[in-house]
Chain A
Amino acid sequence: MNSRHALLALLAGGLALAALPWLLSDFLLALALSCVMYAGLAVSWSMFCGPTNYLSLATAAFFGLGTYVTAWGAGALPYGLSVLAGGLVAAGFAALIGAAVLHLRGAYFAVITFGMGELVRHGITYYEKAFEGTVGRIIAEAPESTTVYWMVLLVSMGAVAAAVLVRDHRLGLALRGIGSDEERAQTLGVNARRSKIAAFALSAFFAGALGAAMAVRWTYIDPLTVFNPFIGFQTVLIAMVGGAQTILGPIASAVVFGLLTEFLRLQFPYLFLVILGFLLILLVLYLPGGIASLFERWRWRRGNV
């Protein structure tokens, strides 16, 4: 499937999803919103981490920065501009931090990106205590829930479109080369540092924009809620279970996760985390290539019959 076909499929899918507010109850729309948000986060994470084999735990930091941009700009900035600004702030932050730490690999990179999130959270808490006298802020005027849904859908679609374009162009090839053998890629002319920073910042843009778009869902924003490391872990988990080398895998995985979590939570309120954990172990053991490898298997079988 080339870029054009993928983008057309995305557009069709996006238009269909845009109609959901007229079809679903408030409860189901909230569920759809969560699925679409995690799909966007997981795809943006995989855009950089999939081909390069980096493990970034910075998603929570980018997401949280985005929400804070909306919180700071509330009243002054229109919703759409807040989302854009949230993305840009996160991308700028990622470029800055990326320039400093992207030479690290493996566990070091994972730990330091996790630390970044904590640093930002404590930084903002300190700033608020020292200069504002209060921690957290209230968002008084929130757009309607359908508007939020459309905005999150738009940003997530943007993330998927960006992932398709990166995959099919030179940046994607460079990232795959870096993931396979960084030094070899460099000896063939790849400016590894620049490629990594660019892709890391692009991936952060969408995480930040999603944070900024979701901020208005909470009326009260404080660092502990929005820099929740759980958001970062959940994103990584979804992307890996889906298959971070692909684009469709993380999307499918986000939907499966969203629905499964909700179903288990309603049916087995006391056991749901236990069951979810058990399912995860099974998935990792028996489907190491992620959900995407199911498509591959199916395609392979169809091709051979």
Chain B
Amino acid sequence: MSEPLLAARGVSVRFGGLVAVDGVDLDVRAGELVGIIGPNGAGKTTFFHTLSGVLAPTAGRVLVGGDDLTGKPPHAYAAHGVARTFQTPRVFKEMPAIDNVRFGLEFAGRTRQHAHDAFDEAETILEFLGLADVAAVPAGGLTPSRQRLLEIGMALGARPRVLLLDEVAAGLTHAEVDASAQLIRRVRDELGLAVVWIEHAVRVLMNYVERVAVLHQGRKIADGDPRAVAKDPAVVEAYLGEEGEPERRAA
């Protein structure tokens, strides 16, 4: 098997006495689409923060393309091809949508080329996301669901090798969720990215990813084929014990 593009080795994060992430290992290879699910407070977003350099892990290491980036600032991760979205869209509100996408192209994406240059233009990325008509609109004026899409566009502008998506489907309608999921698969297929996708809506994620990892109280309790993981007693227990079985949560 090929070298993992993104590797977390025993990553832990402690806030004072609270252990938010507890010794998590995760390997993601190029072209893989991996989902991460878990009940509220399972440590999903905190784990993502360590994968993008926003937060340094208290213990453990994060490797991107074989390079140890543990403790490096976020721009070092970006330069290595890690791009992410945030759960609450963090677009540059005053800038036009197109400049939000251009931002990544000017910095992290400046030195790196995709296999085929489909996403070298901010205009192409906006078109791909169906945002071409609002290119000149300040990002703060877009609807929340369009800001979510723009977040993906900003990450794509950074010409990533690894795309980290934090609950891009939250607050979207069923149709919108389906459209974003299709989009994410298309991006993965066209650019050969490694995609890690956190989602609270379990059913959505299960339908679109080939592999899913489950976090519970900071620990990884399952990792594998979505159908097998859904039947895993530990996973069922985690969801039942905390907030009901997975299917009901998704509804």
Contact = CB atoms under 8 A, between A and B. Distances in A.
The answer to whether A binds B is yes
Interface of A: 170, 173-174, 176-177, 180-181, 183-193
Given A187-B54, A188-B104, A180 B78 contact: no
Given A173-B106, A183-B54, A183-B74, A188 B154 contact: yes
Nearest to B157: A188
Interface of B: 52-54, 73-75, 77-79, 83-84, 86, 90-95, 99, 102-104, 106-110, 154, 157-158
A174 B105 CA distance: 12
B92 A184 contact: yes
Contacts of B54: 183, 187
Contacts of A173: 99, 102-103, 106
A181 B154 CA distance: 13
Contacts of A170: 106-107
Given A170-B107, A173-B103, A191 B75 contact: yes
13 contacts: A173-B106, A174-B107, A181-B90, A183-B54, A184-B91, A185-B107, A187-B83, A188-B108, A188-B154, A189-B78, A189-B107, A189-B109, A192-B73
B168 to A, nearest CB: 15
A177 B103 contact: yes
A151 to B, nearest CB: 36
Given A176-B92, A180-B94, A183-B54, 17 more contacts: A173-B99, A177-B92, A180-B92, A180-B93, A180-B95, A185-B92, A185-B103, A185-B107, A187-B54, A187-B74, A187-B77, A187-B84, A188-B78, A188-B157, A189-B110, A190-B75, A190-B107
Contacts of B75: 186-187, 189-192
Contacts of A192: 73, 75
A181 B92 contact: yes
B176 to A, nearest CB: 23
Nearest to B111: A189
B238 to A, nearest CB: 30
Contacts of B93: 180
Shortest Cβ-Cβ A-B pairs, 8 listed = A189-B108, A189-B107, A189-B78, A186-B74, A180-B92, A188-B104, A184-B90, A187-B74
Contacts of B91: 184
A228 B73 CA distance: 38
Best-buried of B75, B93, B104, B109 by chain A (most CB within 10 Å): B75
